[in-house]
Chain A
Amino acid sequence: MAERVRVKDWRPRGFHLRTPWYLRGKTGVIERRLGEFGNPEQLAYGLPAEKKPLLRVRFTMREIWGDAAERPDDTLDAEIYAHWLEPVADAETTDAP
């Protein structure tokens, strides 16, 4: 069964990071694991970067946009670093594909 994750709903202001605003707080399923990559939040400032796991997460348009979705069952995949993801318990009702 696909593993569900939720994107952290953190909203730090004015820093370089690669987690899109429109996916914050949204739940999806892990599409694939990509391995570890230097953390862009450190690389952007010329700092030595820790390696962070990177995952491709698949969301339904319904989950992202709600009633505004053009076609609720269409999907969107994005790469999200593991430190921006939290596990979602199976019991929680979510709208993952």
Chain B
Amino acid sequence: MTERSWHDMGGLPAGEMDFSQHDFALWEKRVDALMTLATSRGMFTVDGLRRVLEDMGPEAFETLTYYERWIESVTRNLVEAGAFTPAELAEKLAQVKARGATYGEASLGASDG
């Protein structure tokens, strides 16, 4: 019972600073907004978001982008909060993917601004 969690990284060796920067895509901003709205409605907390991110492990941190990790965590927290069931999610995901091969095509026209 003495293992250090991967996310608790203060003081560990690491490389030089990388100053590359990017703007967020619309889908990433929507993930951020979903988190803000769900927590403001008391469905879960920022600690719930962090707990799932931590449980996803270091491989997710190294291979997925920030909001790719967030949408995983938001989804799991929403299922835990009873917002929807895994089966409802699976059915919706199948519908989304059937609409098209790109984000634009898979988005409903009404929600795509």
Contact = CB atoms under 8 A, between A and B. Distances in A.
Interface of A: 11-14, 16, 20-23, 38, 40, 43-46, 64-65
B50 A16 contact: yes
Contact of A12 (B1, B48, B81): B1
Which 5 pairs of residues, A with B, have the shortest CB-CB distance?
Answer: A44-B51, A44-B47, A16-B51, A43-B47, A40-B47
Given A16-B54, A20-B10, A44-B45, A11 B1 contact: yes
27 contacts: A11-B1, A11-B3, A12-B1, A13-B1, A13-B3, A14-B3, A14-B5, A14-B55, A16-B50, A16-B51, A20-B8, A20-B10, A21-B8, A21-B10, A22-B10, A22-B11, A38-B45, A43-B47, A44-B47, A44-B48, A44-B51, A45-B48, A45-B51, A46-B45, A46-B48, A46-B80, A64-B11
Contacts of B11: 22, 64-65
Interface size class of B (residues with CB under 8 A): 10 to 19
A11 B4 CA distance: 8
Nearest to B82: A46
Contacts of B1: 11-13
Contacts of A22: 10-11
A54 B77 CA distance: 26
B21 interface: no
Contacts, number: 44
Contacts of B3: 11, 13-14
Interface string B73-101: 00001001100000000000000000000
A13 B4 CA distance: 7
Interface string B31-65: 00000000000001101101100110000000000
Nearest to A18: B47
B24 to A, nearest CB: 26
